Chains A and B, each alone.
Chain A
């Protein structure tokens, strides 16, 4: 195999972007009613940004769906509504609170609502007749996701069967499915956390302000800084203090921890994530001290 080299070399982020756009277009071309799961979290924001690029100058040709637990940070809901408005999209909301109010779901003893999302989600997929559901999952997030397909078949119960996955070959995605089945599509499967942040920086993508360092009233629980709020009250033993924190992931107020961080801008975060790549990539808990030390090391090297 004689190899004549080309001068055309695509940068990592451009390579990932092109792959993701290809996937998003394939799904829109081959499915009737796709929808994008949109939480306002950084990964779903990046998928939406990629979708705007994929169909430019047309608008994004599918609605977005938010599974609203009722425990969201208010600034994330504000961001969600503003983004949807700006892009002229239709927003579907599956409300966990509605299910609780109707008595279909019961509040859990531990107060978290994360596990309660599945039923409203599946009902929303059925009600919207959605045959493809875009998500922002990445394979580097955990070991199970490392085995997830880019186009992943779900049965009528919305279940994933890891034993029975279709092999995924070249860039040929097989999305054929029977009535009642649907697929989950993961366009950013191959992106790492650092790729996401570098892309956010490069493209100047707006995120909810929680992702950047801000002063907040917090208290320690399970090794994490928890925000003081209506659904996350400290116990009398827990000491409330004001700290400079940011969120690495954005979920429910009742179960998402903040990390101490001085990273106020996108480039501060990129540096923080890159530094934690060398030590503790992907860890969203108990990593505050380490990433802060790495940031300190960077400063000692003369970065700022």
Chain B
């Protein structure tokens, strides 16, 4: 149980993770269990759960609580057909704070998985121990692999219903390895859990002596967030959001003489780190210069890193505006006007070659044309099958022509600098999520 003193401790970090599973995998119960056992559930909520559990004659050793009811509001929404959508939940332990993106798995699974996984530091995929690896599992894992979620956890749930069998667990580990190897994922954590009984979720189970790995919450507390991995200078990417040149419009508390000529490039460091004195280059324009100042809301600092929002001051003044990217010198990719990409199609309207779209990446939005549909992913084999049309929930490989060249990183190298949205130019709908990458790099097969 988290101590208050620890809850108040200053040095705590944030982990964003997503949960994915089919309806019957017990995902709601797992989410409820995480919230309950980490004491994120309020007394009045728990009383409501207890009342409803009793009314429905719910048994079990969890004090007779149907923990799935903790997300019941959301489920009721789904039952009424109001929305089938990702919900965000918040909880913390003494070690860390968590944002959980709860992704419903049965309808619009691609849309929900992509939404949840795009910002996730970790994904928990649920498997029912009695059913093993299903088609749905493969689909979830393929999205996780393509989106390069840095930490992947498979929770083998309902282990109590197979008598805590080591054999069942080992068979699932073997089956999973075939798939994850085919997707070139390594370091997938597989945990035997019972969300219903609480085994290995927060509390270590006494019934799985053959399992020596961490519990789910221990893993979530330890795994590195995306910004804690390889956050070095070479990876430095800074899309310019706007140029801050207040001139006459200074904040009342600011010394007018000192800041009259202030010129700062405002943005959020999307990856990597930067120090005062570092050499940088800017695209478009290929300008090279040095960073002479880093300001965070009035405080000058020597060093900043992703995901901090800062103002950068540069040694020389260039024509740099919103949409420009500042990177470490000699690291920005060449700006190109034709990109190869994998797209997750989210809109009910289909598309084919010739479609005119908008492409939004970083702080830049440019016109584009889908110049070729190379194919779409067969979700059973994960191979790219030839196709001419892209339909909703498809994962397709395409070429996109851009009206203005962009310095696109490969998504495999840089998750934020290689990602983009495809937007419908007329009504502004988000049609697809895209990642810039070569076919060879995502040549999966199982």
Contacts and interface: CB of A to CB of B under 8 A. Distances in A.
Interface in B304-335: 305-309, 311, 322
A292 interface: no
Nearest to A50: B297
A282 B45 CA distance: 11
Contacts of A9: 13, 228
B4 A298 contact: yes
Contacts of A192: 90, 97
Contacts of B298: 53, 56-57
A179 to B, nearest CB: 11
Nearest to B231: A6
Given A8-B227, A25-B241, A169 B85 contact: no
B250 A57 contact: yes
A189 B87 CA distance: 12
B148 interface: yes
A1 to B, nearest CB: 6
Contacts of A274: 4, 7-8
Contact of B14 (A15, A88, A303): A15
A167 B10 contact: no
B39 A55 contact: no
A122 to B, nearest CB: 21
B74 A54 contact: no
Interface in A79-116: 86-88
A75 interface: no
A281 interface: yes
A1 B430 contact: no
B118 interface: yes
Which size bracket describes the interface of B in this complex?
Answer: 35 or more
B89 A12 contact: no
B60 interface: no
A165 B85 contact: yes
A43 to B, nearest CB: 15
B39 A278 contact: yes
B73 A143 contact: yes
Contacts of A10: 13, 227, 305, 307-308
Contacts of A205: none
Given A12-B13, A29-B363, A147 B86 contact: yes
Interface stretch (A16-24, A214-222, A227-235, A243-251): A16-24
A58 B273 contact: no
A5 B12 CA distance: 17
B2 A278 contact: yes
A54 B230 contact: no
A3 B224 contact: yes
B118 A170 contact: yes
Contact of A12 (B77, B97, B250): B97
Interface in A245-296: 270-271, 274-275, 277-283, 286, 290
B246 interface: yes
Contacts of B360: 172, 174
Interface stretch (B154-162, B194-202, B382-390, B414-422): B414-422
Interface string B29-45: 00000000001101110
A62 to B, nearest CB: 12
Given A8-B231, A22-B241, A146-B89, A1 B150 contact: yes
Contacts of A42: none
A17 to B, nearest CB: 7
Interface in A145-195: 146-147, 162-163, 165-172, 174, 176-178, 189-190, 192, 194-195
Contacts of B421: 169, 172, 174
Contacts of A139: 88, 90
Given A26-B241, A53-B297, A54-B309, A169 B419 contact: yes
A146 B87 contact: yes
Interface in B109-150: 111, 114-115, 118-119, 148, 150
B308 A87 contact: no
A271 B8 CA distance: 8
A78 interface: no
B229 A4 contact: yes
Given A29-B241, A147-B83, A59 B246 contact: yes
B72 to A, nearest CB: 9
Contact of A279 (B42, B92, B423, B427): B42
A61 B12 contact: no
A274 B4 CA distance: 7
A14 interface: yes
A25 B297 contact: no
B55 interface: no
B205 interface: no
B440 interface: no
A168 B118 CA distance: 9
Interface string B385-428: 00000000000000000000000000000011001110100011
A8 B305 CA distance: 7
Contacts of A56: 244, 251, 254, 295, 297-298, 311
A10 B16 CA distance: 14
Contacts of B7: 194, 274, 277-278
A274 to B, nearest CB: 5
Contacts of B268: 18-19, 21-22, 171
A6 B89 CA distance: 27
A9 B306 CA distance: 9
A57 B259 CA distance: 7
B429 interface: yes
A61 B403 CA distance: 31
Interface string B343-372: 000100000000000101111000000000
A11 B244 contact: no
A271 B9 CA distance: 11
Contacts of A177: 428
Contacts of B379: none
A33 to B, nearest CB: 16
Given A60-B251, A169-B419, 12 more contacts: A4-B229, A5-B224, A6-B273, A22-B268, A25-B241, A25-B267, A57-B251, A58-B251, A143-B73, A169-B421, A192-B90, A279-B42
9 contacts: A3-B150, A3-B224, A10-B13, A29-B363, A54-B309, A56-B254, A147-B83, A172-B421, A278-B4
**Top 3 closest pairs, chain A to chain B, by CB:** A176-B428, A58-B246, A53-B297
